[in-house]
Chain A
Amino acid sequence: MLQAISPQQQIHNRQLIENKKLTFHILSDPGNEVAKRYGIRYKLPDDLREVYTSFGIKLHEYNGDYSWTLPLPTRLIIDQDGIVRYAAINADYTVRPDPEETIEALKRVMGQ
Protein backbone atom coordinates (compact mmCIF):
# COMPACT_ATOMS: atom_id res chain seq x y z
CA MET A 1 0.00 0.00 0.00
CA LEU A 2 0.97 3.60 -0.57
CA GLN A 3 1.37 5.97 2.37
CA ALA A 4 2.09 9.63 1.65
CA ILE A 5 3.50 12.05 4.18
CA SER A 6 3.76 15.83 3.92
CA PRO A 7 4.65 18.74 6.20
CA GLN A 8 1.48 20.59 5.20
CA GLN A 9 -1.46 20.79 7.56
CA GLN A 10 -4.40 18.36 7.49
CA ILE A 11 -6.72 20.73 5.63
CA HIS A 12 -4.38 20.93 2.62
CA ASN A 13 -3.96 17.19 2.53
CA ARG A 14 -7.73 16.82 2.64
CA GLN A 15 -8.16 19.32 -0.21
CA LEU A 16 -5.56 17.53 -2.31
CA ILE A 17 -7.29 14.19 -1.82
CA GLU A 18 -10.66 15.68 -2.77
CA ASN A 19 -9.39 17.65 -5.77
CA LYS A 20 -7.33 14.84 -7.23
CA LYS A 21 -9.70 12.08 -6.08
CA LEU A 22 -6.79 10.26 -4.46
CA THR A 23 -7.43 6.81 -3.08
CA PHE A 24 -4.69 6.89 -0.45
CA HIS A 25 -4.21 8.80 2.78
CA ILE A 26 -1.74 11.58 3.51
CA LEU A 27 -0.15 12.07 6.91
CA SER A 28 0.80 15.51 8.25
CA ASP A 29 4.33 15.77 9.56
CA PRO A 30 4.40 19.06 11.52
CA GLY A 31 7.79 20.75 11.38
CA ASN A 32 9.11 17.85 9.28
CA GLU A 33 10.06 16.09 12.51
CA VAL A 34 9.65 12.63 11.00
CA ALA A 35 11.48 13.72 7.86
CA LYS A 36 14.32 14.81 10.15
CA ARG A 37 14.53 11.36 11.69
CA TYR A 38 14.75 9.90 8.19
CA GLY A 39 17.60 12.31 7.45
CA ILE A 40 15.79 14.13 4.64
CA ARG A 41 14.76 17.43 6.24
CA TYR A 42 16.48 20.56 5.01
CA LYS A 43 16.12 24.27 5.54
CA LEU A 44 15.54 26.61 2.62
CA PRO A 45 18.29 29.23 2.19
CA ASP A 46 17.24 32.86 2.70
CA ASP A 47 17.40 33.85 -0.97
CA LEU A 48 15.26 30.89 -2.05
CA ARG A 49 12.83 31.73 0.73
CA GLU A 50 12.50 35.21 -0.79
CA VAL A 51 11.92 33.72 -4.24
CA TYR A 52 9.14 31.50 -2.90
CA THR A 53 7.62 34.45 -1.07
CA SER A 54 7.72 36.49 -4.31
CA PHE A 55 5.77 33.64 -5.98
CA GLY A 56 3.13 34.01 -3.27
CA ILE A 57 4.05 30.67 -1.69
CA LYS A 58 3.41 31.19 2.00
CA LEU A 59 5.05 28.05 3.29
CA HIS A 60 4.28 28.95 6.91
CA GLU A 61 0.57 29.01 6.14
CA TYR A 62 0.63 25.64 4.42
CA ASN A 63 2.80 24.02 7.04
CA GLY A 64 1.66 25.88 10.13
CA ASP A 65 5.17 26.79 11.29
CA TYR A 66 8.01 29.14 10.48
CA SER A 67 10.72 26.50 10.21
CA TRP A 68 11.07 26.94 6.41
CA THR A 69 12.02 23.31 6.18
CA LEU A 70 11.01 20.75 3.60
CA PRO A 71 11.57 17.04 3.06
CA LEU A 72 13.63 15.87 0.11
CA PRO A 73 11.20 14.14 -2.25
CA THR A 74 11.70 10.57 -1.09
CA ARG A 75 10.18 7.23 -1.94
CA LEU A 76 10.86 4.25 0.32
CA ILE A 77 9.71 0.67 0.48
CA ILE A 78 9.59 -0.61 4.05
CA ASP A 79 9.08 -4.32 4.67
CA GLN A 80 7.06 -5.83 7.51
CA ASP A 81 10.14 -6.04 9.73
CA GLY A 82 10.47 -2.26 9.39
CA ILE A 83 13.55 -2.50 7.18
CA VAL A 84 14.06 -0.12 4.26
CA ARG A 85 14.28 -2.22 1.10
CA TYR A 86 14.24 0.53 -1.51
CA ALA A 87 15.19 4.20 -1.25
CA ALA A 88 14.84 6.77 -4.02
CA ILE A 89 16.05 10.12 -2.72
CA ASN A 90 17.28 13.02 -4.82
CA ALA A 91 18.59 16.40 -3.73
CA ASP A 92 17.14 17.85 -6.95
CA TYR A 93 13.38 18.08 -6.41
CA THR A 94 12.78 18.23 -10.17
CA VAL A 95 14.07 14.67 -10.55
CA ARG A 96 11.74 11.83 -9.53
CA PRO A 97 11.96 8.10 -10.16
CA ASP A 98 9.39 6.65 -12.50
CA PRO A 99 6.49 4.96 -10.65
CA GLU A 100 7.19 1.81 -12.67
CA GLU A 101 10.60 1.52 -11.02
CA THR A 102 9.01 1.59 -7.56
CA ILE A 103 6.33 -0.93 -8.55
CA GLU A 104 8.99 -3.33 -9.85
CA ALA A 105 10.92 -2.95 -6.59
CA LEU A 106 7.74 -3.57 -4.59
CA LYS A 107 7.05 -6.75 -6.56
CA ARG A 108 10.53 -7.99 -5.66
CA VAL A 109 9.97 -7.28 -1.97
CA MET A 110 6.50 -8.85 -1.98
CA GLY A 111 7.68 -11.88 -3.96
CA GLN A 112 9.98 -13.11 -1.23
Chain B
Amino acid sequence: MKLQEKLSALKKDFEAKAAKNVIEIMHRATEDLKDSGIVERAVKVGDKAPDFFLKDESGREISLKGLLSQRPIVLSFYRGIW
Protein backbone atom coordinates (compact mmCIF):
# COMPACT_ATOMS: atom_id res chain seq x y z
CA MET B 1 0.00 0.00 0.00
CA LYS B 2 1.21 3.49 -0.82
CA LEU B 3 2.00 5.87 2.05
CA GLN B 4 -0.97 8.12 1.33
CA GLU B 5 -3.37 5.15 1.24
CA LYS B 6 -2.14 4.11 4.68
CA LEU B 7 -2.50 7.64 6.02
CA SER B 8 -5.98 8.03 4.60
CA ALA B 9 -7.01 4.69 6.15
CA LEU B 10 -5.68 5.87 9.54
CA LYS B 11 -7.60 9.12 9.24
CA LYS B 12 -10.81 7.33 8.28
CA ASP B 13 -10.42 4.96 11.21
CA PHE B 14 -9.82 7.85 13.63
CA GLU B 15 -12.75 9.90 12.36
CA ALA B 16 -15.13 6.93 12.63
CA LYS B 17 -14.54 6.96 16.40
CA ALA B 18 -13.91 10.64 17.21
CA ALA B 19 -16.57 13.07 18.47
CA LYS B 20 -18.17 15.18 15.77
CA ASN B 21 -17.15 18.52 17.33
CA VAL B 22 -13.54 17.32 17.59
CA ILE B 23 -13.46 16.41 13.90
CA GLU B 24 -14.96 19.81 13.07
CA ILE B 25 -12.28 21.64 15.06
CA MET B 26 -9.51 19.64 13.37
CA HIS B 27 -10.92 20.19 9.89
CA ARG B 28 -11.43 23.89 10.48
CA ALA B 29 -7.88 24.33 11.76
CA THR B 30 -6.58 22.70 8.56
CA GLU B 31 -8.80 24.85 6.35
CA ASP B 32 -7.72 28.01 8.19
CA LEU B 33 -4.09 27.05 7.74
CA LYS B 34 -4.63 26.55 3.99
CA ASP B 35 -6.42 29.91 3.74
CA SER B 36 -3.67 31.67 5.71
CA GLY B 37 -1.36 31.46 2.70
CA ILE B 38 1.50 29.96 4.74
CA VAL B 39 2.38 27.45 2.01
CA GLU B 40 2.58 30.22 -0.60
CA ARG B 41 4.95 32.22 1.62
CA ALA B 42 7.09 29.23 2.64
CA VAL B 43 10.49 28.36 1.22
CA LYS B 44 10.28 27.28 -2.41
CA VAL B 45 12.30 25.80 -5.24
CA GLY B 46 15.14 28.12 -6.19
CA ASP B 47 15.41 29.73 -2.74
CA LYS B 48 18.60 29.69 -0.74
CA ALA B 49 17.98 27.39 2.25
CA PRO B 50 18.62 29.22 5.53
CA ASP B 51 21.63 27.76 7.33
CA PHE B 52 21.08 26.26 10.77
CA PHE B 53 23.02 24.92 13.70
CA LEU B 54 21.13 22.34 15.78
CA LYS B 55 21.74 19.37 18.05
CA ASP B 56 20.94 15.83 17.03
CA GLU B 57 19.59 13.10 19.34
CA SER B 58 23.06 12.54 20.84
CA GLY B 59 23.75 16.22 21.40
CA ARG B 60 26.10 16.56 18.42
CA GLU B 61 25.94 19.96 16.80
CA ILE B 62 25.09 19.82 13.12
CA SER B 63 24.99 22.64 10.61
CA LEU B 64 23.31 22.66 7.21
CA LYS B 65 26.60 23.84 5.74
CA GLY B 66 28.37 20.82 7.23
CA LEU B 67 25.75 18.42 5.91
CA LEU B 68 26.02 19.86 2.39
CA SER B 69 29.79 19.58 2.27
CA GLN B 70 29.39 15.90 1.41
CA ARG B 71 26.30 15.69 -0.80
CA PRO B 72 22.80 17.08 -1.37
CA ILE B 73 20.31 16.27 1.40
CA VAL B 74 16.67 15.50 1.87
CA LEU B 75 15.48 17.60 4.79
CA SER B 76 12.31 16.35 6.44
CA PHE B 77 10.42 18.39 9.04
CA TYR B 78 8.61 16.08 11.41
CA ARG B 79 6.07 17.09 14.07
CA GLY B 80 6.69 14.48 16.73
CA ILE B 81 6.09 11.01 18.13
CA TRP B 82 2.85 11.85 19.93
Tell me the A residues contacting B by CB distance below 8 Å: 1-8, 10, 12-17, 25-29, 34-35, 37-40, 42, 44-45, 47-48, 51, 54, 57, 59, 62-63, 70-80, 82-87, 89-96, 98-99, 102, 106, 109-110
27 contacts between A and B (CB under 8 A): A2-B73, A3-B62, A4-B76, A4-B78, A5-B78, A6-B77, A7-B79, A12-B80, A12-B81, A13-B57, A14-B57, A14-B58, A27-B54, A27-B55, A40-B42, A40-B43, A54-B22, A73-B79, A76-B43, A76-B76, A77-B73, A78-B64, A80-B72, A91-B36, A93-B30, A94-B8, A94-B11
Tell me the B residues contacting A by CB distance below 8 Å: 2-4, 7-8, 11, 22, 25-26, 28-30, 32-34, 36, 38-39, 41-52, 54-60, 62, 64-65, 67-82
